[in-house]
Amino acid sequence: MNALNEKVAIITGASSGIGRATALLFAHEGARLVVSARRARELDDLVAEIADIGGTAIAYAGDITDEATAAALVDLAVRTFGGLDIAFNNAGTLGSMGAITEIALAEWQETIDTNLTSAFLGAKHQIPAMQKRGGGSIIFTSTFVGHTVGMPGMASYAASKSGLVGLTQVLSTEYGADNIRVNALMPGGTDTPMGRSVANTPEARDFVAGLHALKRIASPEEIAMSALHLASDASSFMTGTAMIVDGGVSISRA
C-alpha cells in the first residue's frame, strides 16, 4: 500500500526544486494534490507529468503572500477532493542578500512576507480543514541557515526561516490534541534553481558541497523523501520538530 494512499495534500512552491520533486513523489505514493506556485505554465506541466504516472493533481497559480491564495488552496482541496490531510508549505525566497546595513526595509519585509507570513496564512486556513478531517500533517520548509549556522549576507533569509521553527513549535502544542502534527524541514544545500543562484559557478558549487560532511549537495528528490516521512504515518509520533536534513553541514568543520 502506498504511504499516502487517498490522502489530500497542498504543496506550495511546486513549480520547481523541492516542491516539484515532492509533488511527484506524493502523487506516486497515492496522494491527490493541489499544487501551487506563481508560474502557471510550469504548474500545468507538472500536473500533466503527474497524470502520466497515474496520479491526480490540480493547479492553482497565485501569490502565497496573499491570504486569498491561502484560502483558495484549501477551498480547492475540499471542493475537489473532499478535505485536506497534508500541507507542505514550501514556497520561499532567498530575498535580498548582503550586509544588513545595505538592505532596504521593503526588501526585508518582502522576505519576511514570503517565507514567514505566508506560512502563517497557510496554516490559518489549513488547520480548520484538518480539524474537520480528524487530523493532519503540516510541514514548513525552513533551513539550517540561522538555526545551526550563521552565513554572512543572509540576515533576512535566516530570520524569516528561523521564525518558522518557532511557529512550528507553537502550532504543534496548540493543535496536537486535534491530531494535527506540525514540523519544520531543514534542508542543506540542494540542487535547485534557488540553490544554483547562490552557488552560480563551478567553484562556488564545489565550495558549498565541501561545507557538508557528505561533501556534496542534495538532490531535490532526497529532500522530498524527508518531506514524505513527515507527511506519512511513518512519523505519527513526530511533532514540533526541526528535522535537519542537511548532509552534515551543521556539524562539519572539515
What is the per-residue pLDDT for 233? 97
175 noted as active-site residue: no
What is the per-residue pLDDT for 224? 98
What is the per-residue pLDDT for 66? 97
What is the per-residue pLDDT for 147? 86
Residue 21, classified by CB atoms within 10 Å of its CB into exposed (0-12), middle (13-18) or buried (19+), is: buried
With contact defined as beta carbons under 8 Å apart, do 7 and 87 qualify?
A: no
How far is Cα 80 from Cα 144, in angstroms, rounded to an integer? 36
How far is Cα 236 from Cα 162, in angstroms, rounded to an integer? 24
The catalytic residue among 26, 81, 144, 157 is 157
Range list of H helices, the chain: 17-28, 40-52, 67-81, 105-112, 118-133, 155-175, 193-198, 202-211, 220-231
What is the per-residue pLDDT for 203? 85
Give per-residue burial for 170-203: e unless 16+ CB within 10 Å, then b.
ebbeebeeeebbbbbbbbbbbbbeebeeebeeee
What is the per-residue pLDDT for 89? 98
Q: What domains, with CATH codes, occur in the chain?
A: 8-245 (3.40.50.720)
What is the per-residue pLDDT for 193? 81
One-letter amino acid at 11 equals I
How far is Cα 46 from Cα 57, in angstroms, rounded to an integer? 9
What is the per-residue pLDDT for 217? 93
Q: What is the mean pLDDT of each run of 10 residues along the chain (254 residues)?
A: 94 96 98 97 97 97 97 98 98 93 96 97 98 98 88 90 97 98 95 78 86 93 98 98 95 83
What is the per-residue pLDDT for 64? 96
What is the per-residue pLDDT for 194? 79
